[in-house]
Amino acid sequence: MALLQTFVKLRGSVRSASRAWGPAPVLLGRKRWQHTAPQDTCNWQLLDDCFELRYGGQVMHFNYVWLRDHCRSASCYNSKTNQRNLDTGSIDLNIRPTKTRVDEENLFLTWPDGHVTRYNLAWLAKNSYEGQKWSAMQPRILWNSEIYSDAKVTSANWEKFMSCDEELKTFLNNFLLYGIAFVEDVPATIDATETVTKRISIIRETMYGRMWSFTSDFSRGDTAYTKLALDRHTDTSYFQEPSGIQVFHCLRHEGTGGRTLLVDGFYSANKVLERSPENFELLSRVPIKHEFIENLGNQSNHMIGIGPVLGVYPWNKEVYMMRYNNYDRAVINTVPHNMVQRWYVAHRQLTDELRNPENELWVKLKPGKVLFIDNWRVLHGRESFTGLRQLCGCYLTRDDVLNTARSLGLQA
């Protein structure tokens, strides 16, 4: 560090001539940092192991290797393909800048080989760990049945949905916010159901097929193919990557019962977090297995998916995936004995939340009404039924649904 101190200015500040310190930017829960004019003022210092920047009322820390790695100069980064050119493996892990300069909008670092990197301060703030810590990856509205009903979320209309991007965008916005969305007036056929889903994404083919249609004929080795009630669950928890979206269209039902149950899993997970952070932590850290074993005359399948009940981003504690399927949960043999009891306690707390009747949204699916469920978030179940009931649908590839949402300007 002696060498460093000889060549480098270690501290500095830049203040816009006529501007004073403004109030700290307000964090609106899911919003990213906002920078308004009075917060242009910035202070910085070179610490031993990182560059400390105070900008927009926020103190941020940037590791030196990270800074070198994120140089956006033409030789380090190809802005046509949005890909890094720089070989990260060639960066000296003890690299330090030899010169530092900050103006009102940018930080300039000179590296030992003379290469200069310019970083826009707002870009740094947006991409800092501290900035991400307070912003949501995926803005959403957690709901129980009252919140969802009061929101009066409208369904998309088939014709408009197929022809108008604004209708698709509104639909996807609702889907991202609530984890469920409906399209109505769809012709009651498998073909039309396929058409409506293809407007959003690529269909994810699984061992159940591409488009599937099922009745209570027990044609597959799963309770879904019976008339029995099904408690709330997420599907394909036994895949390493559970299906992102599930589509349901009830093509006919001549009988009684058979209503669909929907529960926002993230609402319940959030209640667990508020009431018992230790239980939330346990559910997000302990990996368990789910399994699908099917032996039919003409086909056999054995799927195993491993992961915690709650998939959580560690930096902001945001839940992004719930695997909850008591039918398909496999033997627990991944949890040490002294943790199993605590895991069951945590699982019970989540189960109690999920079973709170206030959280249950019941809908009767009818021909024409297509339901899209975020299968990483919203649990579904069904009431037992009588009579002939035919349900068709498919799973969608999650990446492509989110891709469509982003292409329409939504944060996903």
Ligand X SMILES: O=C(O)CCC(=O)C(=O)O
Enumerate binding residues for ligand M3L (CB under 6 A).
Answer: 208, 212, 214, 222, 224, 233, 235-236, 325, 327-328
Nearer to Fe ion, 14 or 365 (CB): 365
DSSP-assigned letters across all residues of 217-249: S--SSSGGGSSS-EEEE-S-TTSSS--SEEEEE
Nearer to Fe ion, 367 or 381 (CB): 381
Q: Which tokens is 15 given? A: 């203040």
249 makes contact with ligand X (CB under 6 A): no
224 makes contact with ligand X (CB under 6 A): yes
Cβ 233 to Fe ion, closest distance in Å? 6
From ligand M3L, Fe ion, ligand X, none, interface partner of 222 (C-beta below 5 to 8 A by class)? ligand M3L
Is 153 in contact with 170 (CB distance < 8 Å)? no
Nearer to ligand X, 213 or 403 (CB): 213
Strand ranges in 244-387 using DSSP code E only, listed in sequence order:
245-254, 260-264, 288-295, 300-307, 310-312, 319-322, 361-363, 370-374, 378-382
Q: Residues 377-396: x/- map of binding to ligand X (CB under 6 A)?
A: ---x-x--------x-----
From ligand X, ligand M3L, Fe ion, none, interface partner of 266 (C-beta below 5 to 8 A by class)? none
Closest by Cα among 395, 371, 365, 32 to 179: 371
- What residues make contact with Fe ion under the rule CB under 5 A? 235
Is 34 exposed, middle or buried, given 0-12, 13-18 or 19+ CB atoms closer than 10 A? Answer: exposed
Nearer to ligand X, 187 or 381 (CB): 381
Is 137 in contact with 320 (CB distance < 8 Å)? yes
167 makes contact with ligand X (CB under 6 A): no
35 makes contact with ligand X (CB under 6 A): no
Applying CB under 6 A, which of residues 201, 243, 260, 284 lies at the interface with ligand X? Answer: 260
Using CB atoms, what's the residue nearest to Fe ion?
Answer: 235
The residues with which 229 forms a beta bridge, in sequence order, are none
Q: Please name the residue that has the structure tokens 């307070």.
A: 134
**Residues in touch with ligand X (CB under 6 A):** 224, 230, 235, 260, 380, 382, 391
